[in-house]
Amino acid sequence: MLDVGRHPNIELLAYSDVEKVEGQEGDFTVTVRRKRRYVEEDKCTGCGACAEKCPSMVPDAFDEGLGSRSAVYSYFAQGIPSTHTIDADYCRQLQGKKCGICKKICQADAINFEQEDRIISLNVGAIIIAVGYDIFDPSQIPEYRFRELPNVVTAMEFERLLSASGPTHGHLDRPSDRAVVAEIEALKKKAKRSQKTLDRFEKKHDQASADVYEKYRQGQYQDDEDRKKWAEQYAAHLEILEPLEALQKKAEGFSVAKRLAFIQCVGSRDFRFYPFCSGYCCMHSIKEAIIAHEHGPETTSTIFGMDIRAVSKGFEEYKIRGGKNSNITYVRGRVSEIMEGTDHNPVVIYEDTQQRQVKEEAFDMVILATACAPVKGINELAKTFGVELDEYNFIKTSSLSPVDSSVPGIFVCGCAESPMDVPESVAQASSAAERAAEIAIQLKSEEEKAVA
């Protein structure tokens, strides 16, 4: 990625939208809206000082909502260009409130609250569409109770939990446990504020709050409004401490997730949603199970699937190695339902089709291998570029050349064309680049002939 950012023949227009495409092969006019960041890209050094001091915290979409970020943020670490963006929906200054801390702290003077969108026009000979894919929403399958059971997560959410740069720094803390820890922190802050109020009463009257509260309960201080308020404040303080102590005691028994279940084909190979195989899910689950075992050698994983499709070079060996060295068990069968057991443990009910038995088993976490779905907004994008979509809303390509769209000069690669894994996406990207280069070389040849 760094090489791309430094290449003299590559211009990156990040944080931009294509609004209009006109023309034909060899002569396209592309209208691009460069969205306002409220941060000057050429000045920002990416130091992150603004993000550290920003007081507005919001859910982080890159962490699948499992973590938080500030209103001024970098989308992900080591991104190119190395700059920040201000989220206008959450920035206090842009919402009309008094703040501006980021502008005060920025030594490069890169913050510009007056920045506006810019419209630019590009003349290009060929276009490559590589918009990627989106994740199927498993809440459409009610029997899996995604969003209802806290410890049922998607493979992408689990990927962020495994990441050292993720919300748990690579520790497999269960979402239910993290929610308790967050509640403990909130109660601690509330208790601290309440204690400050009690401290003021104690300093003023030179008495202990517990003594005043006990005497008030015995009927004293009924005519003393100040001590009455004091006793009521202490009672409210106890109402904070009791659940806080109970939650802290509960948290002492928390541990990382050690029993993992991976459910394959969630939304794919399913005639209710996507009948096709998403291609990469089996190997992605095996990879996550292996990494989880590396994080904790006592971790065990069970992968439930109709079959494991390890079709590329070395994949079958990788699958077998995972079973032998990483405590992975492969169960042939479909999961019919996920229930909740004790301590928020998901209970998987499934049919073992090899033993022809219906079984159930409790796990610490369940990971849903969700289908590869067309990227959101693909219909609007197709209209903008004039390309056709297939029956599943991926970009339709030629059967003879799988990178050629329905419009000459516009090519496609990766999961914008169909579900595929990384090696296949890279190979197809090289093919699309070659097809675009053919047009560029032809144009250059024609220009040289015209000059001659």
**CA distances (Å), 391 to each of 246, 352, 374, in order?**
54, 33, 11
pLDDT tier for residue 128 given thresholds of 50, 70 and 90: very high
- The pairing of beta strand 259-266 with beta strand 300-305: parallel
pLDDT, residue 445, reads: 86
pLDDT, residue 384, reads: 97
- Residue 68 corresponds to which tokens in the numbers above? 């938080």
**What span, in angstroms and rounded, lies between the C-alpha atoms of 139 and 160?**
19
**What span, in angstroms and rounded, lies between the C-alpha atoms of 52 and 70?**
8
> Which residues have CB under 8 Å from 424's CB, separation 6+?
279, 312
**What span, in angstroms and rounded, lies between the C-alpha atoms of 451 and 432?**
29
**What span, in angstroms and rounded, lies between the C-alpha atoms of 123 and 121?**
7
pLDDT tier for residue 297 given thresholds of 50, 70 and 90: very high
Long-range CB contact pairs, 376-385, < 8 A, 24+: 376/134, 378/131, 381/18, 381/129, 381/131, 384/18, 384/19, 384/20, 384/21, 385/18, 385/21, 385/127, 385/129, 385/410
pLDDT tier for residue 52 given thresholds of 50, 70 and 90: very high
pLDDT tier for residue 62 given thresholds of 50, 70 and 90: very high
CB contact at 8 A, 141 and 266: yes
Roughly how many angstroms between the first and final C-alpha of the chain, as a whole number? 39
Is the confidence at residue 255, as pLDDT, over 80? yes
pLDDT, residue 1, reads: 64
Q: To the nearest whole number, what is the mean pLDDT of the chain?
A: 94
CB contact at 8 A, 407 and 128: no
Average confidence (pLDDT) over 336-359: 95
Burial track 286-303 (b if 16+ CB lie within 10 A, e otherwise): bbbbbbbbeeeeebbbbb
Whole-structure pTM value: 0.91
Reported as a single tens digit per residue, the pLDDT across 225-247 is 898 899 999 999 999 999 999 99
The residue among 80, 289, 79, 254 whose CA lies nearest residue 182 is: 254
The residue among 277, 322, 319, 312 whose CA lies nearest residue 423 is: 312
- The pairing of beta strand 346-352 with beta strand 335-340: antiparallel
Average confidence (pLDDT) over 367-392: 96
Average confidence (pLDDT) over 415-440: 94
The residue among 419, 392, 407 whose CA lies nearest residue 128 is: 407
pLDDT, residue 185, reads: 96
CB contact at 8 A, 195 and 203: no
The residue among 19, 14, 15 whose CA lies nearest residue 384 is: 19
Reported as a single tens digit per residue, the pLDDT across 134-171 is 999 999 999 999 999 999 999 999 999 999 999 999 99
Q: What's the full length of the chain, in residues? A: 452
pLDDT tier for residue 77 given thresholds of 50, 70 and 90: confident
**What span, in angstroms and rounded, lies between the C-alpha atoms of 202 and 66?**
41
pLDDT tier for residue 5 given thresholds of 50, 70 and 90: confident
- Residue 366 corresponds to which tokens in the numbers above? 């369940």
**How many Cβ atoms sit within 10 Å of the Cβ of residue 307?**
12
